[in-house]
Structure 1
Amino acid sequence: MADSRRPGPTRPPIRLRPAPVAEPPYVDEVPDLWPRPPGQLALDLFGTGRSAVGRPTGRRPDPRARPGHPSAPPLPPPATTTPEATRAAHRFVGTCLEILNGYRPPGQIRALVEPGHTVEVTEQLARAAARTPPVRRRSTRPAVHLRRLRVCQPRPAAVEVAAVVTGGGRSWAMALRLEHHRGNWLCTTLQVI
């Protein structure tokens, strides 16, 4: 009896080749083993003391220039925020989340925005609303949540805020700037990232 099956496709023979080197060079290896693209600076990550390409030789760095050295110039203090500025940032971001969750109408943001910037801020809120799941009117659980809020006050009358927001299985960020005008903290910039 003859075999009625068709012969299968012929496959080329398998060739085993050595694997390429995937490990970085050791500290004591010659730096020419890993060629650098032209224009890329060489970083001395391991502190070997060898001069990098393009760095003038014969000069030693000034040890006083390092932070922590007794004669180094003092570093500026980190930017801290006042409790009032932090509350204003939380209040503005909370109002934005209530608008996105459908608890407030979008027109209520106008009282917290500087008059010349209302259009830009409401456009950014509309952009954020496009990322949120549909709002259920009878649901008591919010669809959009605040995950993290960072507040920085670079000068006494300005606050910069970064907020991480989640909703509908997605996360995004909101960056905003609040400025103190006539006793109120008003938003001048809102960016949905």
Structure 2
Amino acid sequence: MSGARPGPSRPPIRLRPVPPFDPPYVDETDGSYWPAPTDGQLALDLFASTRPNPVRPPERRAALRPVPNRSTTHPATSLPPATTPETTRAAHRFVGTCLEVVNGYRSPAQVRALLDPARAGDLLTELARAIGRAGTARRRTGRPLVRLLRLRVCEPREGAVEAAAVLTGAGGRSWAMALRLEHRRGRWLCTALHVL
């Protein structure tokens, strides 16, 4: 057994520098990194925006009117104030209850207590549209057909919440529901509901 040869040896591992994929920083450019453009090739000037425009004469550049920014032309574009945890919970609870109705876990009559009495008929009709969009009734597996993907909540004024819910249904189809809740007599009531 003294004539046994050792197994195959592996070549040594060589570490090589990583090739540069990103262009150098402005302070790293010494002209050696990027080759100069060849004959017929367009040069890419990365600093053209800092140089004056040679096409427009200086006297015309000074005569240009300043472009107004959006905040002066549209003063109502400010964002609504941030929501409180209570308003966010109220929107989540209402959307969750609507999803239970859409998925067949609750009767639509159980939502009537959460609706504005003057608009309950119209709101239940919109909820019926959501049920129709969901497709077939709940399966025996207990897994919901429609799920909440995203909910955005804003509070345009104190005591009112507006929310937009993105829902996903069977087959990966997505649709949305927009709603408005108002705080009346210690309860949050839905005053507007739209299935989109």
TM beyond 0.5: yes
Does the alignment pair 1:92 with 2:78? no
1:19-71 CA deviation, whole Å, 9 max, x = no partner? xxxxxxxxxxxxxxxxxxxxxxxxxxxxx898xxxxxx956227xx6589xxx
The size of the alignment, in residue pairs, is 133
1:78 Cα deviation after fit: 4.6
Matches within 5 A, 1:71-150: 78-150=80-152
1:182 matched to 2:185? The reply is yes
The secondary structure found in structure 2 opposite 1:142 is: coil
Unaligned runs of 5+ in 1: 1-47, 51-56
Choose between structure 1 and 2: higher helix proportion.
2
Structure 2 gap ranges (5+) = 1-52, 57-61
User: For residues 145-182 of structure 1, what are the alpha-carbon distances to aligned partners after superposition, in whole Å with 9 as ceiling and x for unaligned?
Assistant: 00100000010111000000111122110000001111
Deviation per CA, 1:65-93: give whole Å up to 9, x if none: 6589xxxx9x9565210111000000000
CA distance in 2, matches of 1:58, 1:138: 73
TM-score, length-scaled by structure 1: 0.62
Corresponding letter in the other structure for 2:188: W
Distance of 1:76 and 1:129 partners within structure 2: 35
Q: Which one has the largest radius of gyration?
A: 2
Amino acid at match of 2:189: L
- Alignment-derived partner of residue 159 in structure 2: 157
**What is the root-mean-square deviation of aligned Cα atoms in Å?**
2.7
Deviation at residue 131 of structure 1 after TM alignment: 1.0
Alignment correspondent of 1:39:
none
Q: Percent identity?
A: 59
Q: Deviations over 1:92-143 (max 9, x none)?
A: 0000000011100010111111101101111001111111131235221111
Distance 1:151 1:61, change over 3 A: same
Match of 2:175 in 1: 172
